[in-house]
Structure 1
Amino acid sequence: MLSPLGVSYLGLDDEGFAHFLRGTGAPFASVGALTFLFALLSLGRWGLRVMLSQKHPYEPWLWDHSWRHELQDQRLTQLLVSWPVSLVLLAVLAVVHWLFYSRVFSQGHVLPGALLGLVLLGFDIIIFTRVLGPTVLGTLALLRFGRMRLLLPGVPLELGSRCQVHLEARSLARMSNVKVELRRIREWAETTGCGDERLTQSVTHIEHSHTYTVDAAALHEGKALALPLELPEGGPEHSTALHASRSCHWELKLSSEVSSVHLDTTFVLPVYYVVGGHPARAS
């Protein structure tokens, strides 16, 4: 049963193909176990969000997200996810490459081996550029800048108001200024076509963007950097809605360049439309 598949696609006999499956089984099983755990965590969070939304229907900041007056950049959290994923992918690639070169070429299947080698090279390039590369750069940025914190004057931030948030970061002697971008982003899934040509893709649209530069002198002295925010007027449809079908979120993007490592971090802000002291529920 294994022989036609092994011979046709990998150039392996029954024994070689069975050895190939045994070698790749453990990495794929690890990926499956991690996926199952993430699914359980997501289900638990969804249940808690539904319960809180029924209890506090006009206070969405209590259940849309665990908002705090002190926000931390998500680079460390992202790296805690991306590094295990990268290591699992590297382990899978290492096993596949070892089995491939030790089995296929040892049995004299040069042409099929060369063609499959090109396919594996394509996968290598995709994984290194899309997964491993950003993970390494993110780690270098975290080591250089540390984990930044953004202090809010309160939760929520009201549309149409002016306020100041404060950035706490390591002393950065080489950074002269910080580029600040406040933006409102709308995301939704859009389906086109029908039948076999049906295609669903994620659409991202920047509805509002305001960019300015702030002198980073305070960071040189180890102090918090004050960042003025001018939130535009808007209605309930402009409130933060992270889990809506057409999600809306406000971002504060901070960027600058220090040596060869780029500062590029983003904070998601709790911006809501307030009526009578109670933020309106965004649909």
Structure 2
Amino acid sequence: MAEPAFIFGRAESPSGIQPPPTRLPFVQGIVLLLLALVGGYQLLGLRTATPEPSLLEPLSLQGALLAGTLMCGVWGAVRMRRSLRLRAFAREHRAEPWLWDHPWTQETVAPQLATGPLLSPILGGLVIVGLLGAFGYLAPEVLRPEGPEQQRLGGGFMLLALTTFGLYAAWHVLLRAFYRRWKARRVFGRMSLRLPQVPLSLGSKDTVELLPEHDVPSLHSLTVTLRRVHLMTRTKGTGKNQRRVTARTIQHEDAQEFVFEGLRAERPLKIPLTFLITDARSATWRQLGEEVSWELEVLGFTEQGKTLELNFRLPVYVTAATRLQS
């Protein structure tokens, strides 16, 4: 199992090159605690209005409101405690953001080939079954022979349109991404990227390894692209036309092509990378509405026309090695 980055120890932070400081983690759980406070206030009002409890109170509105209030309160308190502890840890290690700003691991499974959470496909399946059941229940009522023909045609068309739209939405939102991952996983298996250490030093030359789960003999070449990406989110417009727009800019890009007889599980693909320094903002950092990150894209095609497309985030930071090589 991949271990979290903080177990690898602390790397000395340099004093020469200083990127913008990464913002501290937000305090979470406030909204849930406010909801619990509102629920408690409403519950107190209901109890005052109905002083004598009934036998069905656990199943009444008061029981449901009490359960919801307790859930919001407990979960909000847990999330706030965790976020406050992380925030305190981050404040003590401001010069080592790789310890707290992202769950970095030395070996990362490609998200495009990971199993992923099963909640979305389960929920999607339930939605589809519910829509088909509702269609089967309502169709005989809408298409009754004794009804007017125009009403039957209009009602049938509307029912079919709503069911079709619901099925498409369930597929597009809940099932399509899972189906793509499952389809790619059948061909390529799980693939992961192994780093030499966490973090990777800005300005250094390191070799990472692409680890396939099983042999892919039909894959003979890969194009590997290292990018430094700048994301900036701004609010445009006013009033009802106000919207948040994120601009993605590629600040650096370096592509390499690897040719081999076939991707083998016992022979990981070694990928040499160079993390160039252009200025103090070249490292990984994140502020409110703006961030810089490094990513590694892997693209390949099999003889059968299957596409392998992976994307890994890389923990490239300013360390003592950066100071020595800058």
Query: Structure 2 length as normaliser, TM-score?
Result: 0.64
- Cα distance in 2 for partners of 1:117, 1:198 equals 36
Pick aligned residue for 1:215 from 259, 276, 296: 259
Residue 162 of structure 1 contacts residue 229 of structure 1 at CA under 8 Å; is this kept in 2? yes
Residue 140 of structure 1 contacts residue 261 of structure 1 at CA under 8 Å; is this kept in 2? no
Q: Describe how 1:129-140 pairs up with structure 2 within 5 A.
A: 129-140=172-183
Query: Which residue does the alignment assign to 1:10?
Result: none
2:311 matches 1:266: yes
Q: Relative to 1, partners in 2 of residues 1:243 and 1:47: Cα closer, same or farther, differing over 3 Å?
A: farther
Query: Which residue does the alignment assign to 1:71?
Result: 108
Whose helix proportion is higher, 1 or 2? 1
Query: Which residue does the alignment assign to 2:185?
Result: 142
**Residue ranges of structure 2 left out of the alignment (5+ in a row):** 1-67, 144-150
- Cα distance in 1 for partners of 2:292, 2:160 equals 44
Residue 202 of structure 2 contacts residue 319 of structure 2 at CA under 8 Å; is this kept in 1? yes
Residue 159 of structure 1 contacts residue 234 of structure 1 at CA under 8 Å; is this kept in 2? no
Q: Tell me the secondary structure at the aligned position of residue 122 of structure 2.
A: helix
Question: What is the aligned residue count?
Answer: 242
Q: Tell me the secondary structure at the aligned position of residue 237 of structure 1.
A: coil
Query: Which residue does the alignment assign to 1:229?
Result: 273
2:50 matches 1:50: no
Residue 222 of structure 2 contacts residue 258 of structure 2 at CA under 8 Å; is this kept in 1? yes
RCO comparison, higher one (Cα < 8 Å, 6+): 2
- Cα distance in 2 for partners of 1:99, 1:193 equals 42
Q: Deviations over 1:190-243 (max 9, x none)?
A: 211111221223333332222221123473372111101121213342222357
- Cα distance in 1 for partners of 2:78, 2:225 equals 32
2:203 matches 1:160: yes
Shift of residue 126 of structure 1? 3.8
| C-alpha RMSD of matched pairs (Å) | 3.1
2:151 matches 1:114: no
- Cα distance in 1 for partners of 2:171, 2:184 equals 18
Query: Which residue does the alignment assign to 1:25?
Result: none
- Cα distance in 2 for partners of 1:44, 1:183 equals 36
- Cα distance in 1 for partners of 2:223, 2:102 equals 26
- Cα distance in 2 for partners of 1:203, 1:221 equals 38
Q: Deviations over 1:149-180 (max 9, x none)?
A: 22222222222222211111122211111110
Query: Which residue does the alignment assign to 1:197?
Result: 241
Q: Relative to 1, partners in 2 of residues 1:47 and 1:98: Cα closer, same or farther, differing over 3 Å?
A: same
Query: Which residue does the alignment assign to 2:129?
Result: 94
Pick aligned residue for 1:59 from 70, 80, 96: 96
Whose strand proportion is higher, 1 or 2? 1
Q: Relative to 1, partners in 2 of residues 1:193 and 1:277: Cα closer, same or farther, differing over 3 Å?
A: closer
Query: Which residue does the alignment assign to 1:17?
Result: none
The structure having more radius of gyration, on CA atoms, is: 2
- Cα distance in 2 for partners of 1:267, 1:50 equals 26
Letter in 2 for 1:157: L
Identity fraction in percent: 24
Query: Which residue does the alignment assign to 2:29?
Result: none
Q: Relative to 1, partners in 2 of residues 1:214 and 1:47: Cα closer, same or farther, differing over 3 Å?
A: farther
Letter in 2 for 1:151: R
Query: Which residue does the alignment assign to 1:245?
Result: 289
Query: Structure 1 length as normaliser, TM-score?
Result: 0.72
